Amino acid sequence: MTDVLALSQERTQLFHDLIDGRVPKRVPISAAFAHEFAIQYAGRDLTEAQWDTDALEPIFEKTCQDFYSDLLPVSAFRLPSFYKILGSRNFVMGSNGFIQHPEVEGLALEDYDAFIASPFDCIVERVLPKLYSNLDTDSTTKSMVMAKAFKAYTDEMANLGRIYGNLIQKSGYGYVNFYSGFCEAPFDIISDQLRGFKNISIDVRRVPDKVEAAAEAATPLMIKMGTPPNPSPYNATFIPLHMAPYLRGKDFERLYWPSFKKTVEGLKANGMRSFLFVENDWMRFIDYLAELPEGTIMCFEYGDPKLVKEKLGKKHIIGGFYPVSLLKTGTKQQCIDKAKELIDVLAPGGGYYFSFDKVIITLDSANVENTKAVLDYVAENTNY
Amino acid sequence: MLDLNALTQAVGDLDETAVVQILEAFVAENPSGEEAYSVVNACQQGMAIVGELFEKNEYFVGDLIFAGELLNQAIDILKPVISGDNSKKIGTIVLGTVKGDLHDIGKNIFASMVDAAGFEVHDLGIDVPPGDFVEKVREIKPQIIGMSGVLTLALDSMKATVDALTAAGLRNDIKIIIGGNPVTEEACKQIGADAFTTNAAEGVKQCQGWVK
């Protein structure tokens, strides 16, 4: 057996132990960098390189070589080709070349009823033309635009799939994928893509019945979207959570939680565990999180690691909490001390993997030397 | 004349039905401009209650957004009886989401809250290059600059903006507050801002303190 294959098996084992509820040999590490970071780190121009996914392999490889991780640390979600073809309004490029999600209204207030009656039809007929300006045209042109965009999308994803496979093999990463499916909490998709942050905040007070019915109606769609063709107990469906911390408790309880819980349970019934990015601070809702199916993976941004360990540590898999902002502003020693502090709280008894509190999206988001030092520290000092 | 305390409380409670009812009845009585201003003032005090409840974790970001909407609605109802714009401003603020970042929800919340607190607000929008801040400061000479961002990369842009203001010789004439997801005390020091906050209500208080 080659060294790199043995390494891959060892790393796979770390994550299988984590997922199966055994204490692994060492704290497993999942570092996460966006493709924008990898492009800039390789010294390439983001505005140019993100158009050519064929050429991304050596660019991603540089990040793989220099930053320790047990799983493939680079992934790409938002690429300009298909968004440009669509004339996207919900994913647009900033002056730095970084594609972002601005506030957008895809669903008009008066279209709630159409959405509740048939979410898929409503998205196709009413929402997409508002989100994608090049679909706001006659049906022949629209079909061509959609076909071109899908072709671009599948080409890009095929390229990325090939590159991911090559890099996993070359670098000996574990065969566990936390991004094997993707969906959102029903309330979040209604907020982020359909109504917008501002509108939903107003809807929650003016038309709560409609919001509740819309979240309910979106649930089967989210379960379907989040179920990959080949579910595996060692892979997960990524669900980046968004709106809960901005809601009052009673609104969360009625409008956010029931459909979200159903989504996670529905994925579980389909053979998929959920990997939640728990954005912002969910400590108000920690007892709700405790109700989610056993083995749900949760990467926390902010909150109290001690409380999370105490309430969720025996049932769920926990990661995150390590502040990317500290990597940006701290000294190397401060950064390492922080890792040690978190590991002391979260690692005992297993059920924990090391990750930063969010994906590192661009080169100027973190100090590179600090980032390397922290990952190396964890890899070398956290044997159980 | 209506019960000003009841109006303040209704705004604080974010009770839209009550606020609209009170204001429509008030406007129907054809009040004087002076009366109208005391009513605007009562609404602004209601916004201060909203800020306090936010700081106490009884209201959340969604409530601040709704409060901004409610205040706009109140002003729209009152417009016919407010004669001209002779409201006194307590200070001037230039705001923007810094270069490279397109997120503006937090900035918009802060803008509506400082507006309600009586500041004249100049909002430069999103993805604002340092040069645009410098130009605006030269033009209107504000007391305060507010820089917002959600992405961690915004910290570099904030620093670049402070550096540009310093290079232009304008830094000493203004107070700078930074806000948004990535800001911390450490970042604030490195950027060279005067204050930082991740809490819009706290930020408003800071700005009020500066212009006292």
Which tops the pLDDT comparison, B14 or B199?
B14
Write the pLDDT tens digit of every residue in A2-23.
899 999 999 999 999 999 999 9
Cβ atoms < 10 Å from Cβ of B85:
6
Query: Chain A within 8 Å of B120 (Cβ-Cβ)?
Result: no
CB–CB contact A245 B61 (8 Å): yes
* Domain boundaries, given as residue ranges, for chain B: 4-81, 91-211
Quick: pLDDT tens for B21-58: 999 999 999 898 788 888 988 998 898 899 889 889 99
Residue A182, beta-bridge partner list: A238
Q: What is the pLDDT of residues A123-181, one digit of tens each?
A: 999 999 999 999 999 999 999 999 999 999 999 999 999 999 999 999 999 999 999 99
CA distance B32 to chain A (A): 32
Which architecture characterizes domain B4-81 according to CATH? Orthogonal Bundle (1.10)
What local confidence, expressed as pLDDT, does residue B85 receive? 57
| Pair type for strands A236-241 and A181-182 | parallel
Binary contact (B65, A92; C-beta < 8 A): no
B205 to chain A, closest Cα gap in Å: 21
Q: For the domain with range B91-211, which CATH number is right: 2.60.120.560, 2.40.50.220, 1.10.760.10, 3.40.50.280?
A: 3.40.50.280
What are the helix (H) ranges across chain A?
A: 3-20, 35-41, 46-49, 56-66, 80-86, 112-117, 119-122, 128-131, 139-171, 186-189, 197-206, 208-226, 249-251, 257-269, 286-289, 305-312, 324-329, 332-346, 368-381
Answer yes or no: are the C-beta atoms of A125 and A33 closer than 8 Å: no
| Amino acid at residue number A193 | Q
CA distances (Å), A201 to each of A148, A208, B77, B117, B155, in order? 35, 10, 21, 22, 28
Q: A272: buried, middle or exposed (CB in 10 Å: 19+, 13-18, 0-12)?
A: buried
Q: How far apart are CA A119 and CA A111, in angstroms?
A: 10
| pLDDT score at B55 | 86
* Domains B4-81 and B91-211 alike in fold: no
pLDDT at A141: 97
Cβ–Cβ below 8 Å for A205 and B66: yes
Residue ranges of chain A assigned to CATH 3.20.20.210: 178-321
pTM: 0.91
pLDDT tens digit string along B59-109? 998 998 999 899 889 988 988 887 655 567 899 999 999 999 989 888 988
Cα dihedral sign, A77-A78-A83-A85: negative
Contacts of B85 (CB under 8 A, 6+ apart): none
Angle at B11 between CA B10 and CA B17, to 5 degrees: 60
The 10s digit of each residue's pLDDT in B139-180 is: 999 999 999 999 888 999 999 999 999 999 999 999 999 999
- Residue-level pLDDT at B211: 94
pLDDT, mean over chain A? 96
- Count of pairs with CB atoms under 8 A, one residue in A, one in B: 92
The ipTM assigned to this model is: 0.87
pLDDT at A371 over 90: yes
> What's the mean pLDDT in B127-133?
96
pLDDT class of B193 with cuts at 50, 70, 90: very high
- pLDDT above 90: percentage of residues in chain B: 67
CATH class, A178-321 region: alpha beta
Inter-axis angle of helices B105-116 and B33-55, nearest 10:
130
